[in-house]
């Protein structure tokens, strides 16, 4: 007889044979117990040895970090492969290598062992979603960059590369789908999603950003939302893995948004119930020969209900909702020019007028030219990385225009380090290139504060060279009590400045004491072409212990 039912091979009840008996109680328990104890002992002993080995390896590697960083700078990050032009920025060997590997890995994953063209199309669609996890995982790039410990600039490059890769993969996915099948509901949805992504990619061209940053940003976010919606409707309900990628991206977005909200409430002191921060705005005004008043800069002091720790070079994203009709829709990044060893009760900012919110702010100068205006303000941050300045004997800070704001907190920190003998630093040189002498009045107070701080034991370490392109009557005009500030006509000769500083001759040394030359740090926050020029010069001095560092506030960072 044929039976289709499942026959259980095991009896339902277990009957012991009368001759069976359990092993004696003590032996039964002790064997596994002693084995466990031995295993724990072996793991603990092995763990201690592995830990010691790891610590030793890490300390050897840390000693070698300088060597690695010199090699990386000399062969990967500083040599240019593609020079900057109107359409794209500078491409170093490292960026070409990383981008090529990224493309190669994605092409390989699409084509590896494919059985059909349609299969490759499906895989490309899925891979596009995997690539989009990073760009969709946070609303705020500064916050994401902080979580990953990278600069805003690097985070933007990763965001852009992942976005373009996803667009290309999705375009391939759609081409394959169109060739393979007729137009249907699911294809209509992905076309809507892809159209959003395509427009979004086009909108990311720098021209749109410069034209109106706010429209670009909000448009970017709305189109990303439309893309997610279109893709969600396109994905088959049964297949779970592509939807899982969207879930991961949206889950990360929810998580980072919640974290960001809690950080914002904490940093703005909204938990402590002492009210919200206030922005006190004052202005630098220039009077022309014809008695016409022009506002050249704004200074903002943010009074904080809850003190905040800000590292040198960090910036905040500032929201002043009542400054103008549309200011509630905008946040803007500004470097914190104030620095202190501990937490700060007030943060200071130096603002250059452009076309948007910055101009709206300086319009208030007409009612408060001599005094100041006060607004409710909230901020996110402080964001951004801060260069470790502890290993350098000298530092050369090169800035142009209002980007001097980024150099000031570093100078403050290094002067403090010299005064308190907590840093090795022995020489500081600020080279500041400006278009006209008027620009210097905006930062005059900040520079005077630095000179006042730099007075310990008459051992001044700070020198300031200001190069004025137009309108200076005499070249080389030293001023100030100790002639630590010098005004020059024209543009600096960076090659000779860097060469002189790298020689170490400018560091004051005690007589009859053999002193190591020490390392030198070159920090830049300048226009793009000047930054490229300095990179090229510094490449020649890497073997002399010179390191180049770019500050967070860079011009094309918008």
Ligand X SMILES: Cc1cc2nc3c(=O)[nH]c(=O)nc-3n(C[C@H](O)[C@H](O)[C@H](O)COP(=O)(O)OP(=O)(O)OC[C@H]3O[C@@H](n4cnc5c(N)ncnc54)[C@H](O)[C@@H]3O)c2cc1C
Q: For binding to ligand X (CB under 6 A), which residues are involved?
A: 152, 209-210, 213, 315, 332-335, 349-352, 354-359, 402, 405, 552-553, 557-558
Residue pair 382/308 in contact by the 8 Å Cβ criterion: yes
**What is the smallest separation between the CB atom of 315 and ligand X, expressed in angstroms?**
4
Compute CA distances 500 → 14, 371, 552, whole Å: 92, 44, 26
Q: Which residues pair with 293 in a beta bridge?
A: 287
Q: How far apart are CA 61 and CA 68, in angstroms?
A: 9
Q: Is the CB of 106 or the CB of 554 nearer to ligand X? A: 554
Residue pair 404/294 in contact by the 8 Å Cβ criterion: no
Task: Give the containing element (helix H, strand E) for 1.
Answer: none
Q: Is the CB of 127 or the CB of 320 nearer to ligand X? A: 320
Q: Is the CB of 347 or the CB of 357 nearer to ligand X? A: 357
Q: Is the CB of 110 or the CB of 365 nearer to ligand X? A: 365
Q: Is the CB of 186 or the CB of 209 nearer to ligand X? A: 209
Q: Is the CB of 75 or the CB of 355 nearer to ligand X? A: 355
**What is the smallest separation between the CB atom of 362 and ligand X, expressed in angstroms?**
9
**What is the smallest separation between the CB atom of 283 and ligand X, expressed in angstroms?**
13
Closest CA to 386 of 415, 347, 345, 414: 414
**What is the smallest separation between the CB atom of 501 and ligand X, expressed in angstroms?**
25
Q: How far apart are CA 165 and CA 106, in angstroms?
A: 8
Q: What is the DSSP letter of 7?
A: P
Compute CA distances 209 → 202, 212, 248, 547, whole Å: 11, 6, 29, 32
**What is the smallest separation between the CB atom of 179 and ligand X, expressed in angstroms?**
40
Q: What share of the chain is helix, strand, coil (3-state, %, to 5)?
A: 50, 20, 30
Residue nearest ligand X by beta-carbon distance:
356
**What is the smallest separation between the CB atom of 499 and ligand X, expressed in angstroms?**
30
Report phi then psi at 2, rounded to 5: -90, 120
Q: Which residues pair with 347 in a beta bridge?
A: 302
Closest CA to 550 of 514, 527, 518, 524: 524
Q: Is the CB of 170 or the CB of 407 nearer to ligand X? A: 407
**What is the smallest separation between the CB atom of 403 and ligand X, expressed in angstroms?**
8
């Amino acid at each position: 007889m044929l039976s289709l039912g499942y026959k259980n091979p095991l009896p339902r009840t277990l009957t012991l044979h009368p001759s069976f008996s359990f092993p004696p109680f003590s032996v039964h328990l002790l064997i596994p117990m002693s084995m466990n104890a031995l295993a724990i002992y072996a793991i603990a002993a092995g763990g201690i040895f592995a830990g010691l080995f790891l610590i030793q390896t890490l300390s050897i590697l840390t000693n070698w970090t300088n060597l690695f960083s010199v090699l990386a700078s000399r062969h990967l990050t500083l040599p240019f492969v593609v020079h900057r032009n109107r359409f794209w920025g500078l491409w170093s060997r490292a960026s070409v290598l990383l981008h090529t590997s990224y493309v190669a890995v994605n092409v390989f994953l699409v084509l590896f062992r494919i059985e059909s063209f349609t299969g490759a199309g499906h895989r490309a669609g899925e891979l596009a979603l995997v690539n989009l996890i990073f760009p969709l995982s946070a609303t705020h790039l500064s916050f994401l960059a902080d979580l990953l410990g990278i600069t805003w600039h690097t985070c933007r490059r990763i965001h852009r590369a992942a976005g373009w890769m996803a667009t290309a993969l999705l375009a391939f996915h759609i081409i394959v789908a169109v060739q393979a099948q007729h137009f249907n509901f699911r294809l209509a949805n992905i076309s809507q999603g892809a159209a959003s992504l395509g427009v979004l990619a086009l909108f990311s061209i720098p021209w749109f950003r410069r034209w109106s940053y706010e429209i670009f940003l909000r448009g970017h976010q709305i189109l990303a939302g439309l893309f997610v919606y279109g893709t969600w409707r396109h994905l088959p309900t049964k297949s779970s893995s592509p939807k899982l990628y969207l879930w991961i991206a949206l889950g990360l977005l929810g998580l980072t948004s919640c974290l960001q909200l809690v950080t914002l409430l904490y940093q703005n002191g909204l938990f402590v119930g002492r009210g919200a921060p206030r922005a006190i705005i004052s202005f630098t005004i220039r009077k022309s020969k014809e008695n016409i008043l022009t506002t050249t800069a704004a200074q903002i002091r943010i009074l904080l209900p809850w003190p905040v720790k800000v590292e040198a070079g960090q910036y905040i994203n500032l929201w002043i909702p009542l400054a103008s009709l549309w200011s509630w829709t905008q946040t803007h990044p500004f470097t914190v020019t104030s620095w202190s060893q501990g937490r700060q009760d007030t943060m200071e900012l130096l603002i250059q007028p452009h076309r948007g919110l910055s101009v709206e702010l300086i319009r208030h100068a007409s009612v408060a030219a001599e005094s100041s205006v006060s607004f409710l303000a909230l901020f996110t941050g402080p964001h951004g990385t801060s260069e470790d300045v502890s290993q350098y004997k000298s530092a050369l800070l090169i800035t142009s225009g209002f980007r001097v704001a980024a150099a000031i907190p570093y100078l403050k920190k290094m002067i403090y380090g010299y005064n308190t003998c907590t840093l090795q630093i022995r020489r500081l040189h600020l080279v500041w290139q400006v278009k006209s002498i008027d620009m210097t009045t905006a930062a005059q107070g900040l520079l005077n504060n630095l000179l006042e701080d730099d007075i310990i034991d008459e051992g001044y370490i700070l020198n300031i060279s200001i190069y004025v392109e137009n309108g200076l009557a005499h070249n080389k005009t030293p001023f100030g009590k100790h002639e630590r500030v010098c005004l020059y006509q024209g543009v600096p000769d960076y090659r000779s400045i860097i060469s002189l500083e790298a020689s170490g001759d400018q560091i004051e040394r005690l007589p009859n004491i053999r002193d190591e030359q020490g390392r030198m740090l070159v920090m830049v926050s300048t226009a793009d072409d000047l930054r490229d020029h300095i990179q090229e010069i510094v490449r020649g001095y890497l073997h002399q212990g010179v390191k180049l560092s770019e500050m967070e506030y860079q011009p094309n960072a918008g």
